[in-house]
């Protein structure tokens, strides 16, 4: 068994083979309950976590984490164990866990706003930073804090408004986040000579400021590029996801707000090895502030092999329907189209994952949402048929280690159902979500004094010499 610190004394279910690793994720012990804010709670936990890291390094510092092969070096360092990421752990068989909690456990145990069916990224942010399940009041305190910080400098507004509509939304998002660095508290504190033990404090402040401003930035880009250029304001009485939905123009649709809650939670963190997380961590290790670090992560997220995958899935499905000539293709038609895709040297998008060897739990969370809210949607019916057919086709094809769907196989379909049809904007939503995970870890990177990242590289010739001289 493993224990999760919880202000509600909630327990988590028995761990399977992941017990040691999950216990490590949730290893913080309860401290004084006198903390009245998230920042105070983090400050209470820092000495304890530093002591834990010191103990682990003293006891196991010379232990081997695993082997590194030549194929790993050429293969994107896949599978190399070489960084610390405490906020989440990805297991090939179990999927993602946030501080030891699975996605269903997060959905069940974290508080929800009144009238909502999904928990919030604010509640998840408390969990990621502390390892504790927040009370409703604690989750609300994060909502209130973010709402109070939700404003943009006029020069950033002008910068976004002057971007041509032909500039990709992700480029505009990265540009705006870099511009927000103008007001970085960490950059100013570092210039003033802040003690390194206190780095985490202005990083915390920058992270909350950035999280608060992202819906305003993202929605402004959306309204400028795809709509009428008219913009709303933040409503201090509602949660982050409802505000985001309102700003995008979906204020009247309660289901869309719940979808945003689900989307922002499940896309937030996926251990530290993915491109956007690793890039944010890497750039942050040079003591670049959260704005510069996250902007770098966004540029990685914009790559076709990372954050663009969900729109590629949707485009493939729509193209399939168009080529078959119906929006309700039969299973035989879908199977034939999948084989045609594979035989042409392409992949079936949305299936397979670099780590997972089972159906992505994030896919299942979205599937359950669809089954409850849009069971008769024809596009969802096609996605369900793909879920039934594609794993068998890929298994028969024999070239895919994991034939099961990942998160991208479903998210675009949900967004399209509710009217957010502009596929080039989907990665922006992913970016807003991913901020909650990577900034949580970035705060702990500075609180724990992590070193600048500097792995050793080799040349092809040096590898050849290494083995041929023996």
List the catalytic residues: 306, 353, 408
Three-point CA angle 19, 63, 76, nearest 5°: 80
Three-point CA angle 179, 181, 183, nearest 5°: 110
Query: Whole-angstrom Cα distance, residue 310 to residue 350?
Result: 7
Q: What is the DSSP letter of 102?
A: E
Three-point CA angle 7, 12, 15, nearest 5°: 145
CA dihedral sign of residues 318, 319, 324, 329? negative
Query: Whole-angstrom Cα distance, residue 296 to residue 120?
Result: 25
Query: Whole-angstrom Cα distance, residue 163 to residue 222?
Result: 12
- SS3 call for 368: helix
Calculate helix-pair angle for 200-226, 426-447, nearest 10 degrees. Answer: 170
- SS3 of 258-283: HHHHHHHHHCCCCCCCCHHHHHHHHH
Query: Whole-angstrom Cα distance, residue 15 to residue 21?
Result: 10
Which of 350, 430, 423 shows the shortest CA–CA distance to 384?
350
Query: Whole-angstrom Cα distance, residue 124 to residue 398?
Result: 38
Three-point CA angle 275, 276, 278, nearest 5°: 65
Query: Whole-angstrom Cα distance, residue 183 to residue 399?
Result: 50
């Amino acid at each position: 068994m493993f224990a999760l610190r919880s202000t509600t004394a909630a327990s988590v279910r028995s761990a399977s083979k992941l017990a040691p690793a999950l216990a490590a994720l949730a290893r913080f012990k309860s401290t004084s309950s006198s903390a009245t804010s998230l920042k105070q709670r983090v400050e209470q936990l820092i000495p304890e976590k530093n002591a834990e890291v010191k103990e682990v390094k003293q006891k196991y510092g010379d232990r081997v984490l695993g082997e590194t092969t030549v194929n790993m070096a050429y293969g994107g360092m896949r599978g190399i164990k070489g960084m610390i990421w405490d906020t989440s752990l990805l297991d090939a068989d179990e999927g993602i866990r946030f501080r030891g909690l699975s996605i269903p456990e997060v959905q069940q145990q974290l508080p929800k706003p009144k009238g909502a069916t999904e928990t919030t990224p604010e509640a998840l942010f408390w969990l990621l930073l502390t390892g504790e399940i927040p009370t409703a009041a604690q989750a609300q305190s994060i909502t209130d804090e973010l709402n109070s910080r939700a404003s943009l400098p006029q020069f950033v507004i002008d910068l976004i408004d002057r971007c041509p509509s032909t500039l990709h939304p992700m480029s505009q998002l990265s540009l705006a986040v870099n511009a927000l660095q103008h007001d970085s508290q960490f950059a100013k504190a570092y210039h003033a000579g802040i003690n390194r033990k206190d780095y985490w404090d202005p990083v915390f402040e920058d992270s909350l400021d950035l999280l608060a401003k992202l819906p305003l930035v993202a929605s402004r880009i959306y309204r400028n590029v795809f709509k009428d250029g008219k913009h709303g304001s933040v409503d201090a009485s509602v949660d982050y996801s409802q505000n985001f939905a309102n700003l995008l123009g979906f204020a009247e649709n309660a289901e869309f707000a719940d979808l945003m809650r689900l989307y922002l939670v499940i896309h937030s963190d996926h251990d530290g090895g993915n491109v956007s997380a690793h890039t944010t961590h890497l750039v942050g290790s040079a003591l670049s502030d959260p704005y510069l670090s996250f902007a770098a992560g966004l540029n990685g997220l914009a790559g076709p092999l990372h954050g663009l995958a969900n729109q590629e899935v949707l485009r493939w499905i729509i193209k399939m329907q168009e080529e078959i000539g119906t929006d309700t293709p039969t299973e035989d038609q879908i199977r034939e189209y999948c084989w045609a895709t594979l035989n042409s040297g392409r992949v079936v998008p949305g299936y397979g994952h670099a780590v997972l060897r089972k159906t992505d739990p994030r896919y299942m969370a979205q599937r359950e949402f669809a089954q409850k809210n849009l069971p008769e949607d024809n596009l969802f019916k096609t996605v369900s048929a793909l879920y039934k057919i594609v794993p068998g086709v890929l298994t028969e094809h024999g070239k895919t280690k994991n034939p099961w769907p990942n998160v991208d196989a479903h998210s675009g379909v949900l967004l399209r159902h509710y009217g957010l049809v502009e596929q080039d904007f989907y990665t922006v939503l992913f970016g807003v979500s991913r901020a909650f995970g990577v900034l949580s870890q970035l705060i702990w990177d500075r609180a724990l004094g992590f070193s600048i990242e500097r792995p050793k590289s080799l040349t092809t010739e040096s590898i050849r010499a290494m083995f041929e001289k023996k």
